[in-house]
Amino acid sequence: MASKSVLTPQAEDFPRWYQDVVAKAEMADNGPVRGTMVIRPYGYAIWERMQAEMDARIKEAGAQNAYFPLFIPESYFHREAEHVEGFSPELAVVTHAGGAQLAEPIVVRPTSETVIGEFMAKWIQSYRDLPLLLNQWSNVVRWELRPRLFLRSSEFLWQEGHTAHATYDDAAAYAKRIHLEVYNDFLVNVLAAPTYLGIKPPSERFAGAINTMTAEGIMRDGKALQMATSHELGQNFARAFDVYYQSEAGQAELCFTTSWGASTRLVGGLIMLHGDDNGLVVPPRLAPIQVVVLAVRDEPDVNEACEKVATALKAAGVRVAVDHGRGSFGRRITDWEIKGVPLRVEVGPRDLAEGRVTIVRRDDAQKSAVALDAVAAIAPGLLESVQAAMFESARRRLEESTHDVTTIHEALDVAQTGFARLAWSAVGDEGEALLRTEAVTVRCLLRPDGSIPVSDTEAGLHCIVAKSY
């Protein structure tokens, strides 16, 4: 059995537990500059899996990948007043380069609406060029005063999509498509993460947007985490950067634009959504290693059997690693449990003598004896069972942690340990101000049936209120 003292228990100190997992699962380390992080190979392997899954969905939605500069002229930000106001506290600005003061300061990319707007204006001439659907995978810099690895860092990795459309309806429909077919599909079917899908209230919108859609998940400590956002930018950026197109009637018309993104914050979400006192628990569809084949002893016959099992698993399409039994068996179990590998196949001399192995699930620790030559046939179905069980467990936790209330004061009480749901009409500016005094915010607005509203002015909306990361 794994040692129970390796990690700080969640109930004792959740932030410390999180830091322990990041360190002991070899996910990341602090960088040399405050607020930066070094993503270690295992953490990056998880991010690569996230990238691959989201990238495939983004391309299926018609967007193409491109790359835009890290350095952006400061003057670009001043062309959209709300945008520069929203980002000013977070900007990193370069004033000197090449041993001399620059004629114009350069902003280190916090997001790319401005620089991409500049090139959209150059590339779009007529309605035939629309819609223009772009995405980039890059790093961004937002100077963070209270850093926490993966959740808040001064530099992080993400994807940011940017599109231009001929009409408001087309832009709004595409932003919603991305939110549902890319983000929600990934969250539900890969990350096993149920969320509330809704729109941000005006006070929480992305700077310069006319509407922001969000996916809000609940972590094991009862706080919310914004998992992904999609923004309708209206014509704000098109107007600021002269992004016009010539219509079929020959008239110059302003484009409507969108932007949308998800970042390495999802890795932090993975840890806090599914992790337990033994470490990470990684959903099988996401896991870089789905099965670890673990030799009980470092003996030739055992190692040969492990390699045979691993080869059969790989042939069955399973991502697998082999641990050849060097060092304490108990210590190695603990290490793999901390990394959250979905299935562990234990192979020992006694097992070989009986022609069987032991399979252990990471999500619920259930063990089963399986014939040695049947592992490859059984594993894919067992992995899918783990995936489904993890989603159901997270869905149930979200549901049980959400409480319906009728007043702001009740919402404040509930939000200390979970999500409060109440009528949006019962909140108002004063209500939001009161919530903020205790670091509680309106996470999203949604319809009574759980669907995404078009506007915060729709009648009968509910809101989700919580503390957040």
Structural contact between residues 372 and 306, judged by C-beta atoms closer than 8 angstroms? no
The rounded mean pLDDT for the chain is 96
List every span in the chain annotated with CATH 3.40.50.800: 291-398
State whether CATH 3.30.110 applies to domain 402-466.
yes
The pLDDT of residue 81 is above 90: no
* pLDDT in the model for residue 366: 97
* pLDDT in the model for residue 145: 85
Residue 122's pLDDT band (boundaries 50, 70, 90)? very high
What distances in angstroms separate CA 278 from CA 28, 186, 274, 335, 361, one per listed residue?
18, 25, 11, 9, 13
C-alpha 129/C-alpha 163 separation (Å) is 11
Mean pLDDT, rounded, for 226-253 = 97
pLDDT in tens, 174-208: 999 999 999 999 999 999 999 999 999 999 999 99
* pLDDT in the model for residue 1: 40
Is the pTM higher than 0.75? The answer reads yes
The pLDDT of residue 246 is above 60: yes
C-alpha 452/C-alpha 197 separation (Å) is 6
C-alpha 98/C-alpha 456 separation (Å) is 49
List every span in the chain annotated with CATH 3.30.930.10: 14-274
pLDDT in tens, 148-175: 999 999 999 999 999 999 999 999 999 9
* pLDDT in the model for residue 326: 83
- The tokens describing 272, both together, are 């806090």
pLDDT in tens, 397-425: 999 999 999 999 999 999 999 999 999 99
* pLDDT in the model for residue 2: 41
pLDDT in tens, 337-390: 999 999 999 999 998 999 999 999 999 999 999 999 999 999 999 999 999 999
* pLDDT in the model for residue 365: 97
- The tokens describing 335, both together, are 């290490």
State the CB neighbour count (10 A cutoff) for residue 456.
18
The pLDDT of residue 133 is above 50: yes
To the nearest 10°, report the CA torsion of 322, 325, 330, 333.
0
Architecture of domain 291-398: 3-Layer(aba) Sandwich (3.40)
The pLDDT of residue 143 is above 60: yes
Structural contact between residues 228 and 179, judged by C-beta atoms closer than 8 angstroms? yes
The pLDDT of residue 5 is above 80: no
Mean pLDDT, rounded, for 216-240 = 97
To the nearest 10°, report the CA torsion of 360, 362, 365, 367.
-10
* pLDDT in the model for residue 3: 42
Architecture of domain 14-274: 2-Layer Sandwich (3.30)
List every span in the chain annotated with CATH 3.30.110: 402-466
Residue ranges of alpha helices (H) inside 251-354 are 265-274, 300-315, 329-339, 349-354
Helix axis angle, 14-24 to 265-274, nearest 10°: 110
Burial of residue 21, with CB atoms counted within 10 A of its CB: 0-12 exposed, 13-18 middle, 19 or more buried = buried
Q: What percent of the chain has pLDDT over 90?
A: 95
The tally of CA atoms less than 13 A away on the side-chain side of residue 108 is: 16
The pLDDT of residue 88 is above 90: no
Query: Is the peptide bond between 131 and the residue preceding it cis, with omega within 30 degrees of 0?
Result: yes
C-alpha 314/C-alpha 145 separation (Å) is 45
pLDDT in tens, 296-329: 999 999 999 999 999 999 999 999 999 998 889 9
If you search the block for the tokens 């009528």, which residue do you land on?
423
C-alpha 130/C-alpha 165 separation (Å) is 6
C-alpha 168/C-alpha 166 separation (Å) is 7
